[in-house]
A and B are shown apart, each in its own frame.
Chain A
Amino acid sequence: MAATSTGRVLTFCRQFQNAFRISTPLSAQKSALTLTKSQSYPHRLTSPLLSSSWHCHVGLVRQCRPLHTTISRRGLEEFFDIPENWGEATVKSGAPWTAKQLRTKSNEDLHKLWYVLLKEKNMLLTTEQESKRQRIQMPSPERLKKIERSMKRLDTVVKEREDAIRLLQTGQERARPGAWRKDVFGRVYWYRFREHALPWYMNKRYKRKRFYTPLFVTPHMRLRLEKHLRAKTRKQNRERQKQAGLQEKFPQMKAQSS
């Protein structure tokens, strides 16, 4: 019932405004309060637009959060290139965004740019698939690489800003919490926490994953360490022998620091 009423409200609003309201679940008491409040307001029928907006308000039972989306100007044509580029062998495109350029932009600009790049990427992927279907070469496939690099750099810049704010506000170095844990093989690693619906002592799958080393594994840990040290020493000896051989062949050679 709740879902259908929200759905009706959404479709009703979309006809008149592009900004429609999403409802968040609240307690029944609060929803009753809002209902009584909206019923007590007198109806003002000044213009059809206002009356429809009041309809929106009256129909809503829950608290709302505004969400804005842009109007889809061209519809499905946005998945394809502009008609002037159809049939061309190469399509000109500029250089990808550099991290230095992106760092001068504001957060809102970066947010918008991300979606612009995403839509462009969708368009290029559609073009690629279409070229595969028609068994012809895609015009200027380097555009995809440029878009991917730009998006990666944008992500890097946003991460940098988030890291800076978090460090200043809380002093936390990592965004995702974790801990140093031992796995079944005796190796210590950084375990990154995940989100679960249950506490750990009720999570059967989590309890099956052992974060301790059984006693019978301990001798194997020493053997593994010995193997690692042996391999490291052998590599160092091999490197030293190689350098000695090269020094013998080329006496004027400068000794390599590496």
Chain B
Amino acid sequence: MRLTAILSMAAKAAFPKDYRYGTSRPWTIAAKRLNPPGKKRRKVFIEPIAYEDWSVFKGDTVEILSGKDKGKQGKVAQVFRHRNWVILDGLNTHFRYIGKTADYRGTYIASEAPLLIRDISLVDPTDRKPTEVEWRFTEEGEKVRVSLRTGRIVPKPVFQRRDGIVPQQWKGESAFGEGGTEARGAKESRWIKVEKEIL
């Protein structure tokens, strides 16, 4: 299938109004344990942040402002917009046993806990200190994050897909046989100029 088809394959699933989102994906056993069908839990209030105002992305370097690992900088591994959460690599960890069986005590691993967006601050790449960030437009019209203290642009981190495809260098099968998307009209914006009046 085409790259566009693969990229836009996720369909929208329906959730109940009081669904409590966690760190696991909704179809996993852990998420199903967290939300059994008849459960009623206290509602979690999340600060509504508009889609355009979201500043933290996967791969960004951020600094923790409060908590156990206060003052440490780390890379963002995962972002949960539905809870305003961010998981950093190796920071804010607690320890637990994984893969426990009847006779084996399990592997002792460090698992990261999510941090709220308000306890996180983006780091200015030049002086490596936490700053407030605002969305502004450049001369070309591009929307970029600008650090309010220094005024420098914080570049967006390069997103690497799990299957290693770089959309700009996609050289996959574009047409199956002769009839393909290319054969439909490579020049879609090829309009003929009509000199005389139509009606």
Given A168-B199, A246-B47, A254-B53, also A92-B2 (CB < 8 A): no
**Nearest CB on A from B103, distance (A):** 41
In the bound complex, how far is the Cα of B174 from the Cα of A94, in angstroms? 8
- Give chain B residues whose Cβ lies under 8 Å from the Cβ of A254: 50, 53
Chain A interface size range: 10 to 19
In the bound complex, how far is the Cα of B116 from the Cα of A249, in angstroms? 14
A95 interface residue per 8 A CB criterion = yes
- Give chain B residues whose Cβ lies under 8 Å from the Cβ of A256: 48, 50
Name the prevailing secondary structure of the A interface residues.
loop
B195 interface residue per 8 A CB criterion = no
Partner among B118, B175, B191 whose Cβ is within 8 Å of the Cβ of A94: B175
Chain B interface size range: 20 to 34
**Nearest CB on A from B181, distance (A):** 5
Chain A 84-116 interface 0/1 with B at a Cβ cutoff of 8 Å (1 = within): 000000001111010011001100000000000
**When the two chains form their complex, are residues B47 and A100 in contact, meaning their CB atoms are under 8 A apart?**
no
Chain B 1-12 interface 0/1 with A at a Cβ cutoff of 8 Å (1 = within): 110110000000
**When the two chains form their complex, are residues A101 and B176 in contact, meaning their CB atoms are under 8 A apart?**
no
B37 interface residue per 8 A CB criterion = no
**Nearest CB on B from A120, distance (A):** 12
Partner among B4, B5, B175, B188 whose Cβ is within 8 Å of the Cβ of A104: B188
B45 interface residue per 8 A CB criterion = yes
Chain B 172-199 interface 0/1 with A at a Cβ cutoff of 8 Å (1 = within): 0001100111001100101100000011
Which 8 residue pairs spanning A and B have beta carbons closest together?
A250-B47, A95-B2, A101-B184, A168-B199, A95-B181, A104-B185, A253-B47, A92-B176
B contacts, CB < 8 Å to A: 1-2, 4-5, 45, 47-48, 50, 53, 118, 175-176, 179-181, 184-185, 188, 190-191, 198-199
